[in-house]
Amino acid sequence: MADHVLLMSLDELSGHYQKGTLSPVEVARAHLAQLARWEPALNAFQVVDEAGALAAARASETRWRSGTALGKLDGAPATIKDNVDMAGFPTRNGSTTTPDTPAAADAPVVARLREAGAVFLGKTTSPEFGWKGITDSSLRGAATRTPWKPSHSSGGSSGGAAASVVAGIGTIAFGNDGGGSIRIPAAFSGAFGIKPTFGRVPHHPLESPFATVVAGGPITRTVQDAATTLAVMARPDERDWYSIPPPPAGWLADLAPAVKGVRFAWSPDLGGAKPEDEVMAVLAPVLATLRRAGAAVEAVGPVIDPLKPAFEDFWLAGFANRLRVIPESRWEETDPGWLRLAKAGLSIGVDKVNAAQVARPRLHNRFVALFRTHHLLLTPTTPHVAPRADIAYHSQGYDRWDDAVPYTLPFNLTGHPAASIPVGLSANGLPVGLQVVGPRFAERAILEACLGIEALLGFPARYANLRP
C-alpha cells in the first residue's frame, strides 16, 4: 500500500472509512506490513499483536459499514508503551527483573482508546524503568533508533512510540513523560508530542515515587491528531487518585491556528541550558517566521536556576526505591548506569527528598510569574539533535542534566503542560524540536499555537520522503 495511506491523519482515515474507500482491515494490514519492514532497523516494539490488531480492525470495519462507528479513532492503528498495563500482555518496564505475567486489566488510557475503537498493533520499547532519555534495554537486546538516521537514537523513554509513528507504523502512539519522555523522543524522531497538565490523563496503577511528576499523552505526526487523541485519553477513570476533574465536553473541539497576537517568552538558556549551534541554527529562522506572522517573541533569560542542586537527590532516591523491591541476587541484571545511580540513592534520607518536594512549588511560582506577562513559553526541546544510538547515557559524553532534560524536566516538577513540535532538520538531516509550554490547564492554547506553527512551517509534509 502506498506510503501516503500509512501517513494518513485521523480525519483522512475516518473519511475513507465512512465512504468505504478504505477499510480498517486494509489499513491494519498495511501498518503491520510496514512494521515488519522497519522493525529490524528500528527495534521499536517489545510486543507485536497481529492477531489482536486484525480482530479489532474487523470489528471496526463492521461498525463503519453499519453506521455505528465510535468516532475518529475507530479503526485507527495505535501503539501502547511497554510500561503501561494492557490486558493479556505483561508489563515489563524494559527489565528482565519484572514478571512476564499478563496484566489482568487495561490501564485507564488503554481502556479509553479501546472503547474508542483503536486498533492496537502492540507495545513499544522503553528503557529499563523509563530511567533515561534514550531507549535501550537488556530485555529488548538492542537500541531503538530514529527513522531519519538509524545510527542515531529515537530518544526516550517513549522511544519506540515516537520511532514507530514517524515510520508510518501506527497513526497514534501513547507515551508517558516523567522528565521529558514524550517530548525528547518526539524531538529526536520528528514527531509531535504533548505532555498534558499533571492529572489530565488518568493512570493506574500508581506505585512509583515519581507518580507526581509523570503525565501520559499522545505522540502523533500532526497536531490535530494529538488533540483528537488527547480528548479521548483524558476521559475520567476513578482508579487514579491524582486525576483532576474531567474537562468539559468539547474542550478541544474546533481548534484554530493561533500565532498572531500571541505573546511568546523565549528562553534558550532556561535554567542555564546551553543549546548547540546546530539546534539554534534551525530555531532562529522559526522565531523570525513567528514574528513575521504577528507574534511577539521576547527573550526572557534563564527564568529559573539549574535543577540539579535541588532535585538530584529526589531522582536518585526514586531509583533506590525501585531497587529495594528487586532481589539483591538480581541487581546485576539491571542496566549498569541505572544500578549505579540507584545504589547511590540508597543512602539518601527522607530530609533530602522532602527538601526537593518543598522546592517544587517555588519552581512552579517562577513560571506563574512568567505567565502573567506572556501567554506561552518557547524553548528548544533538547540542547542537541539525536545522539548516536550507542551513546552511554548520563556519562561524561552525555550528561542527564546538561544534555538530556534541562528544558523538559522543569515542567514535570511543576505539572505544566508542554509540547514538542518538529520545526526543521539540522545540517546532518536530524529533526529539531521546539518546546511550547503554557500555564496549567492551557492545553488548548498550546495546541492552537502549535497548529499555527505547523501551518507556517509545513513540517509533516516531509514524512513522505522517508523510506525503509
Query: Does 316 reside within a domain?
Result: no
- Catalytic pick among 181, 243, 267, 420: 181
Cα four-point dihedral sign 280, 193, 397, 41: negative
Helix (H, G, I), strand (E, B) or coil at 279: helix
As a whole number of angstroms, the distance between CA 166 and CA 53 comes to 19
Whether residue 327 has a cis bond before it, omega within 30° of 0:
no
Question: Known catalytic residue: 352?
Answer: no
Has residue 50 been placed in a domain? yes
Q: Would residue 322 count as lying in a domain?
A: no
Per the annotation, the verdict on 153 as an active-site residue is no
H-assigned helices in 371-442: 410-414
CA atoms within 13 A on the CB side of 65: 10
Q: Is 330 contained in some domain?
A: no
pLDDT at site 464:
61
For the sheet with 192-195, list strands across it: 45-48, 119-124, 77-81, 172-177, 215-220, 192-195, 418-425, 431-437, 376-380, 263-266, 296-299
Does the residue 324 lie in any domain?
no
Task: Tell me, yes or no, whether 417 lies in a domain.
Answer: yes
404 within domain boundaries: yes
Tens digit of pLDDT at every position of the chain (468 positions): 577 899 999 999 999 999 999 999 999 999 999 999 999 999 999 999 999 999 999 999 999 999 999 999 999 999 999 999 999 999 999 999 999 999 999 999 999 999 999 999 999 999 999 999 999 999 998 999 999 999 999 999 999 999 999 999 999 999 999 999 999 999 999 999 999 999 999 999 987 889 999 999 999 999 999 999 999 999 999 999 999 999 999 999 999 999 999 999 999 999 999 999 999 999 999 999 999 999 999 999 999 999 999 999 999 999 999 999 999 999 999 999 999 999 999 999 999 999 999 999 999 999 999 999 999 999 999 999 999 999 999 998 899 999 999 999 999 999 999 999 999 999 999 999 999 999 999 999 999 999 999 999 988 767 766 654
DSSP three-state, residue 318: helix
Q: Find residue 78's DSSP bridge partners.
A: 120, 172
Tell me, what's the pLDDT at 460? 77
CATH at 149: 3.90.1300.10
As for how many domains the chain has, the answer is 1
To the nearest 10 degrees (0 to 180), the angle between helices 10-19 and 223-233 is 80
Whether 119 is in a domain gets the answer: yes
Q: Where in the sequence is the domain holding 186, given as residue range(s)?
A: 3-307+349-465
- Is position 157 annotated as part of the catalytic site? yes
Residues 6 or more apart whose CB falls under 8 angstroms from that of 182 comprise 158, 175, 176, 193, 194, 195, 217, 219, 420
Q: Please tell me which residue in 157, 158, 164, 208 is annotated as part of the active site.
A: 157
pLDDT of amino acid 467: 55
Residue with cell 533508533: 145
**pLDDT value at residue 466:** 65
Which of the following is catalytic: 9, 14, 81, 426? 81
